[in-house]
Structure 1
Amino acid sequence: MAENITSKSAREKLAARKEPYWSRLEAGLYLGYRRAEQGQGTWIARRRDEAGKQKYHALGTFAEFDDAARAANRWAQAVDAGVSTHGMTITQVCAHYVTDLRTRKGSKSANDAKGRFRRLVDSASIGKLDVAKLKTSHVRAWIAAQVEMDEADAEDEDDLRRAKDSANRNLASLKAALNLALRDRLVATDAGWKTVGKFASVGRRREDFLNAEHRKALLAACPSDLANLVKAMLLTGARPGELARVRALDFDKTLGTVALDGKTGRRVVTLSTAAATFFADLSSSRIGNAPLLATEYGQQWNKDSWKKLFKQAVQDAELPPTTVMYTLRHVAITELINAGMDSFLVAKLAGTSTAMIDKHYGRAKHDETRAKLDAVAIL
């Protein structure tokens, strides 16, 4: 005799066993409940296909019979629509997308996506999830973890903006893989990711710029130790964290170079005469591993020690409140581009790529090129 599993009280009276207790939902479709020795029981759906073969699908835990029945019906409808009944993990879905991308767009795009998924999906908890069980909360947590990871190394607000911009690109790749799975009927619905949106206003080119008068006002408003760090950024275009880590022995007075260690690895950059003279003055009272650009207490700078001081200096100098330490790097690179320096050389000095230079400073390059073209009398 069939046991009643429609009410919670009835289910609690059932004997624990491996074989589920079944309830017929419609012709060929059954909902089963597996009573556990301890804890909550689990639900399973059973369906007979056109060939007469029984198919099973684990539904998980539900407090109410009606909720489990709806899940069983959704599964049956997905099967009827041609959705694969073989579960795929998010990692497998991403691999499926990489294969498709290689066919449609070539190895470069496929390898970029493959590397992105390897770093952020394959070894993460989201990668092990069955795509049919993916929830919006899973995707949101995955995105938040990326920003939190980069936030630990962020040096200012611009770093956080760029971290969110990077997370947006990663989300776009994941959603592209999931959407392909939907089109290929590997999953029945896009409800788990469709409503997850990207961070707004984080991919824009930086517009902040400080002219010569602004820079002088800022330096005058800074305490002497912070002024040295600000001046070093303007003279080199380096990242604030890179300059904070410079030791006395990293400066070569003879060659006029300084070794910087940052997010793109260690590099040795040539200094202008003004920068070399400035660094030489600083090194006269520093030796060995001592920080070349130190706080008034002789300690190495970090974002916590400069953030409030810099914000106060910006306010005292009456500069835009959006001015942050990274603005100084933007100013320096812009001036180098405006002076006609080659993008490759600027990228090498700044520790970035020519693609990033073109993306963020392309307008300055075109204006400088246009001025040279206009100087040539052709007609």
Structure 2
Amino acid sequence: MPRRRSVLASRTSRSDLPPSDAPEWELISPGVRLGYRRGRGTRGQGGSWLAASRSADGKRVQTKLGKADDLSAADGTGILTHEQAKDAARAWAKSLRAAPDAQPALTVADALERYLEARTAEGMKAVYDARSRARVHILPKLGPLRVADLTLDRLRRWRDAMVTAPKRLRTSRHAAKVNTRDVDVSDPEALRRRRDTANRTLTLLKAALNWAFQHQFVESDRAWRLLKPFRDTGAARVRFLDVAEQRRLLNTAQGALRDLVAAALMTGARFGELAALTVRDFDGANGTVFVERSKNGRARHIPLTAGGRALFERLSAGRDPRAPLLRGETGEAWKPAQYQRAFKAALDRAKLESITLHELRHSYASAMVRNGAPLIVVAEALGHSGTRMAEKHYAHLAPSFVADTIRQTAPDLETGTGSGSGTVHSLA
């Protein structure tokens, strides 16, 4: 009986595979498997070859071989055809057997991949964002390096270089070159944002390296344990839309985007939470929507106002309970980055400053605080595990004894248009 041709053998058959963070595996020799992965966050960038086997002590070992020749011609080293990848996988497995006492050198790319695979198995919801951050900021500079070769100085120079590196802009997946914009080093706010980005990226890298250290893939964590993040980077101005601005945005948003914006404004849910909602998550009897898993892994029920209830009743009427509650223009569930261009256009038509969809979550929370909701209630509605973030972003909006006392007792200066026309009210 003829052997069935592997689905990984050609570019065409690989392109038919759905994007997934889980690899497609092919057994190529006894105990040796070749894997292909085209992650959900790598659209337009092709896939990668992996190899898996077992070490002399029976432990499953996996490594990344290189990129697949999906978009570029193979060069035999970094970009491999199917046959070249099979040869590389067999050679790698042979090296494991030839040196049973020596584990393969763990690279930064390997550590990140194993960490993200473990977090995915644990139900981590932000894997897409983590892969995207790693692909842009970590892998180009540090990916090929052995974890054992990392030094404090090398990591510090990598962290510092991110601050002044050109900012990546939205680029068509068919473009030959990524659009970038130079950082204005004379702008303190621009530098603060870049340092904040560097800190977030450093947090991801250290999490992956700590995971490798805890699982005994490396002997020391000294290089990254001693590297500290930039200080004083968390003072970003949180932007809110008032009621009039929210109405203007809704009036300029159209179709499926309007439903997405309305849902964000009336639930305070994150985009990933909204995109994951199904029809059965809306409880019409109790007027709530159920978020099964939030960023911190907690489930929550969000009570809806009359407007929110009417919105979800319309979206769920007569539909399959397992269908996505919020659908994009294609009729499928929203995917990351699908809404951004239309959202920016709606902001421009509404003559609003550029904000992100996530900042509609801030608008939801700020309205609650201004209307007297305790911060513990706001934190619960947003799915936070405590009040720290709510206090950080919204405490200044809450009715305050200190603020009321200052307004009643501080000098109240009335100024006119001409010099000498101002008066100060007496405090006596």
* TM-score, length basis structure 2: 0.43
**Larger Rg computed on CA atoms:** 1
Q: Relative contact order: is structure 1 or structure 2 higher (C-alpha 8 Å, sep ≥ 6)?
A: 1
* Higher relative helix content: 1
* TM-score, length basis structure 1: 0.49
